[in-house]
Every structure is written in structure tokens, then in C-alpha cells.
Amino acid sequence: MLGLSMALIWTVEAQDIHFSQFHQTPQLLNPGATGNYEGKGRLIINYKNQWGIIGSSYRTYAASFDLPILKGKLNGGYLGVGGNFYKDAAGNSKFGNTIGSLSLAGVLEIHDKGYLSAGIQVGIGQYSADLTNATWGSQFDGYGFNPAYSTNESAIVFASKPHADVGAGIYYQLSNSSSSFLDETIHEMDFGVAVFHLNRPKQEFMGIEEGRLPAKLVLQGAMEKGFALSPFAIVPTVFYAVQGPHTEFVGGMLLKVNFGGTTKLTGLSKKAAIYFGGHYRWKDAVIGKVMLEFQDYMVGVSYDANVSSFKQVSNGAGSFEVSIKYTSNQKQLLHRHSK
């Protein structure tokens, strides 16, 4: 039990979960991003499987939705409302955190197609572990693990007390802009700053209080820059987080290739695009990404190749991720074709 307790304590003190496709987790990046986008509704599903090659993997599941409300009724502004859920499970003990949260943001149009928003997020989380599949020293027979030996332990599911978690952020979004940067069009741009765990929730597990969860500062930015008379665009993105002694920096760029055609029956131009490229997580991993966008849907696949000292154990393997995003009625993806 001592070894298990030490492992759990280390995990509790570690940094929050993170996705390599961080740009597909807006509410995990910034509560101010809630409802601040082009469209009537947005649903995103994420899945991550990490270090499966070395045994029991670390799995993370997330889902979020958000939508703008009261547009045209608040003197140039509106509200964004949303919800976010995630769960992670690590190893045979399935130790992890489950949290559900609600977000509310106020969004103000400060110039043509430029929106500034501030949001707050309130959630309830709980740590847990399932020892049904755990192995114990009493099952070592002198040569190796023997499942026929008694564990001398009860197969108990441990759970901590639920804790409240509060975050807030400020976010800026520019969409479908006619503005120019270096004589080329910026189609989209966003950046924001957010702080999570503002209330520094108590971390208690198996009846032992392990202090409070440190607040986390998150900075992020992205831009889509097109080129005149070209189907190509570049999409640089950056993410930086600080939580206690832990820091994370991810930067990189995707190349976007636009394609599509006009339907004969409706006269609507159905735009689509493919993105491919990579990011680098500082001193940890090289991340390859491919994303496909068609009308209201976007599907992304990415893989992390581990380059840290841990690669001696992982053989360079990292994590595999999939994301699916649906945004209802995106104006930039479906428009009337002019003859």
C-alpha cells in the first residue's frame, strides 16, 4: 500500500491533463472562448491514448459544447454558454480525475469581426482509483508475478471527496477579416490568457489531505494567414502553461489546403480543407497532425513521438489522439456562389 500511496500522491501533484490538439479543446484553454466563434452551436469530442506500448496506457476522454445566445439583444454583445466534461484513467489502477464544468462568457464586438470576451468556469471534480486489477508484493513467488497468489488486499474502489474548481479567462477572436498583415489576408486570429484552479481546491485521497492544487496560468494564440490567389494558408499556433513547478510550451504550424466545388442544384459553394504539419512540445515530444474539414465538421488525428529521456523506456512512442468537431452553420464554410 505504501508504494501505491506514493504513486497516487505524485500523480495528484502533477500537472493537469493536456491534449496535443489543444486548439480543439477551447474550454480547457480559456473559459472566455465559450461562444466566441462563427456559428450557432459547437460540439467537440476528444480521445487520447498515451504510452500504450509500455503496458497499461493512460487514457483521456473529453467532450464539450457551447453556443452563443442573445445575439442582437445586448447592444453589440451577447453571451456564450457551455459545458465541458473530461475523464482520465491511468494504468491498471485506473487512477484519474473526473470533472464536469459549466462556462459562461460575455462577448463584445469591439470592431468589425473582432470580438473580445471574458468568461468564468465552475466545475465539480473527483479523483478515484480501482484496485481490482492492481498487483501486489504478496503475489511475487520468487521468480515473478503469480496471479494465483492471494493479494491479501480487498478489491476496493477508492474515491476522494468531490471538490469545486473555478477558472476564468479573457479571449480575443477575429474571424473572416478583411484586415491584412504583411500584405496578405488574415482569415482568423485568436489569443487569450486564463487562470484555472483559482480557488486552489483541496486534494484529498484515501482520507489523506495532500494540500491544495496549484493555480494554472494558460497563454495561447493562433492565426490563419492566407495568400492572394492561392488555396494555401499557414496556421501557426502556440500554447504555454505554468502550474506550480511545472511548465509546458507547445509551438508549431499547419499548412492548410483549401478545396471544394459548387453544387449544381443549390448553387452553394461547399468549401473543404485539409491541414497537415507538426508541433513541438519543449523537451518532450514531436507531434505530427492531420486534420480534415468539410462544411460544419472537422476531424483531427495526431501522434506524439517522445524525445525526452523517457524514450529509453517508451522507445520513442508517445500518445495517439483523435478529435471530432461539429460547428453548426459556419458562414466561412458554406456561402451562396455568385455567378
Provide the pLDDT for residue 334.
41
Query: What gap in Å lies between CA 96 and CA 84, rounded to an integer?
Result: 17
Q: Is 182 exposed, middle or buried (0-12, 13-18, 19+ CB in 10 A)?
A: exposed
What integer pLDDT is reported at residue 8 of this predicted model?
A: 40
Specify the pLDDT at position 175.
Answer: 80
Domains of the chain: 2-336 (2.40.160.40)
Separation of alpha carbons 233 and 223, rounded Å = 10
pLDDT for position 1 = 41
pLDDT given at position 119: 98
CB 296 within 8 A of CB 328: yes
The answer to whether the CB of 269 falls within 8 A of the CB of 262 is yes
Give the mean pLDDT per block of 10 residues along the chain (339 residues). 40 63 95 94 94 70 96 89 91 77 96 92 86 63 64 60 93 72 68 96 68 92 88 94 94 92 52 93 93 93 83 66 89 41
Distance CA 317, CA 309 (A): 12
pLDDT at 91: 66
Q: What is the pLDDT of residue 12?
A: 41
Interatomic CA distance for residues 93 and 10, integer angstroms: 14
The confidence score (pLDDT) of residue 311 equals 57
> Which of these, 187, 172, 160, 199, lies nearest to 32 by C-alpha position?
172
pLDDT at residue 202, rounded to an integer: 82
Q: Which grid cell is 216?
A: 494554472
> What pTM did the predictor assign?
0.82
Residues sharing a CB contact under 8 Å with residue 294, sequence separation 6 or more, in sequence order: 270, 272, 333
pLDDT at 13: 44
Burial class of 206 by CB neighbour count within 10 A (0 to 12, 13 to 18, 19+): middle
